[in-house]
Amino acid sequence: MDLAVIVVSWNVRQLLGGCLTSVKQSLADSARLGAPLAAGIWVIDNASSDGSPDMVRTRFPDVHLVANRDNRGFAAANNQGLTLALAHEPRHLLLLNPDTVVRGRALETLVRFLDTTERAGMAGARLVFGDGSFQHSAFAFPGLAQLAIDLFPVPARLHDTRLNGRYPRARVAADAPPFPIDHPLGAAMLVRRAAVRDVGLMDTGFFMYCEEIDWAMRFHQAGWQIFCVPAAEIVHYGGQSTGQIRAASLVNLWHSRHRLYRRHYPPLKNRLASWLVRLAMSYRARQPSPQPLRDAYRQIAAIWSAP
């Protein structure tokens, strides 16, 4: 097997159907043009209540489906898919969000890049929004400046800079060459099987968010390189699952960031980060907003008060 595609889904039946259709079409396009990929697709459904598993069984009978009885989170569900797919010994594995649409021969482009770049352990695509507009898909590892920009009002011009972990947009243009990055957005990540065997699976302590950053940090620590491949384009609608539970998703995000900082950053940086988060969240909790959000802000401040 050349490629294993793993899609973790929760209550996005229509988008999941579009995603799987696009994956199959991308594989068919490559095969028609003389570059076939032997591929398998795994869908790990995290206890959807919208009929997603039945849709997969009916429309995509050749897709390997795991229908979990409870929501295990993004990292744990991806690990389920990775474990099942690794048994087939694919050269590469693609972790793909269900709110994506693969364009053209993007899968072949990503696979070909890893095949020809010896120390590349992970590669991300160029992501665009549903209307085709630019979406950041490659990032530098987060630091205190990025944290402050996220938490406090700052000049808008800082949002698109390296201070905020962003690479120049010109580097991600469709005709730009691949370039090394710290980590891709977790919506679309191709990983080399040998690198996964070396680094291990995702950390299930991350229920949702930051698991791809932690994984990328471990890839780098093990000596693997990570790239963005702009020639591979994937539409990413974004936030379609998490937007259904806004307050809970906010808590999950900041809980995961807390875990990431505690795992990878030194004590002084952690103390400064905790002070910034507690200051901002305590202020937000006092402002007029829906009660679930104010409760979420207080919970986040409490999480970042822990050692």
The total number of structural domains that make up the chain: 2
For helices 13-32 and 106-116, give the axis angle rounded to 10 degrees.
60
Averaged pLDDT for residues 145-156: 95
| Residue 307 in this model has a pLDDT that exceeds 60 | yes
When mean pLDDT is compared across 12-26, 124-138, 232-246, 291-305, the lowest value belongs to 232-246
Question: What pLDDT does residue 102 have?
Answer: 98
Q: Looking at the structure, do residues 13 and 144 belong to the same domain, yes or no?
A: yes
Q: Give the range of the structural domain holding residue 163, as residue numbers without chain letter.
A: 3-243
Q: Which of 26, 6, 172, 181 is nearest to 106 (CA)?
A: 26
Q: Looking at the structure, do residues 91 and 222 belong to the same domain, yes or no?
A: yes
Q: Looking at the structure, do residues 157 and 97 belong to the same domain, yes or no?
A: yes
- The terminus-to-terminus CA distance of the chain in angstroms comes to 45
DSSP state of 101: E
Instruction: Return the structure tokens found at 95.
Output: 């972790």
Strand partners, 42: 6, 64
Q: Looking at the structure, do residues 21 and 110 belong to the same domain, yes or no?
A: yes
In Å, how far from its chain's centre is CA 112? 21
When mean pLDDT is compared across 116-120, 148-152, 236-240, 248-252, the lowest value belongs to 236-240
pLDDT band at 217 (very low <50, low <70, confident <90, very high): very high
Q: Looking at the structure, do residues 65 and 214 belong to the same domain, yes or no?
A: yes
Q: Looking at the structure, do residues 267 and 223 belong to the same domain, yes or no?
A: no
| Residue 205 in this model has a pLDDT that exceeds 90 | yes
pLDDT band at 208 (very low <50, low <70, confident <90, very high): confident
| Residue 156 in this model has a pLDDT that exceeds 50 | yes
Q: Looking at the structure, do residues 293 and 191 belong to the same domain, yes or no?
A: no
pLDDT, tens digit, 9 for 90 and up, residues 161-200: 999 999 999 999 999 999 999 999 999 999 999 999 999 9
- Percentage above 70 pLDDT, the chain: 98
In Å, how far from its chain's centre is CA 248? 18
Give the Cα separation of 200 and 215 in Å (integer): 9
Average confidence score pLDDT of the chain: 95
Question: What pLDDT does residue 244 have?
Answer: 54
Q: Which of 197, 224, 243 is the endpoint of a domain?
A: 243
Tally of CA atoms within 13 A in the half-sphere of 4 that contains its CB: 26
Q: Looking at the structure, do residues 33 and 125 belong to the same domain, yes or no?
A: yes
The domain that holds 129 is classified in CATH as: 3.90.550.10
Q: Looking at the structure, do residues 126 and 248 belong to the same domain, yes or no?
A: no
Question: What pLDDT does residue 242 have?
Answer: 47
pLDDT band at 243 (very low <50, low <70, confident <90, very high): low
Angle at 199 between CA 196 and CA 203, to 5 degrees: 95
Instruction: Return the structure tokens found at 302.
Output: 């409490």
Q: Which of 199, 227, 243 is the endpoint of a domain?
A: 243
Q: Which of 257, 166, 160 is nearest to 208 (CA)?
A: 257
Q: Which of 243, 262, 284 is the endpoint of a domain?
A: 243
Give the Cα separation of 285 and 283 in Å (integer): 5
pLDDT, tens digit, 9 for 90 and up, residues 34-61: 999 999 999 999 999 999 999 999 999 9
Q: Which of 116, 132, 120, 103 is nearest to 27 (CA)?
A: 103
Q: Looking at the structure, do residues 184 and 50 belong to the same domain, yes or no?
A: yes
φ/ψ of 297, rounded to 5, equals: -60, -45
Q: Looking at the structure, do residues 231 and 251 belong to the same domain, yes or no?
A: no
When mean pLDDT is compared across 36-45, 175-184, 241-250, 262-271, the lowest value belongs to 241-250
Give the Cα separation of 97 and 185 in Å (integer): 10
pTM to 2 decimals? 0.94
Q: Looking at the structure, do residues 101 and 213 belong to the same domain, yes or no?
A: yes
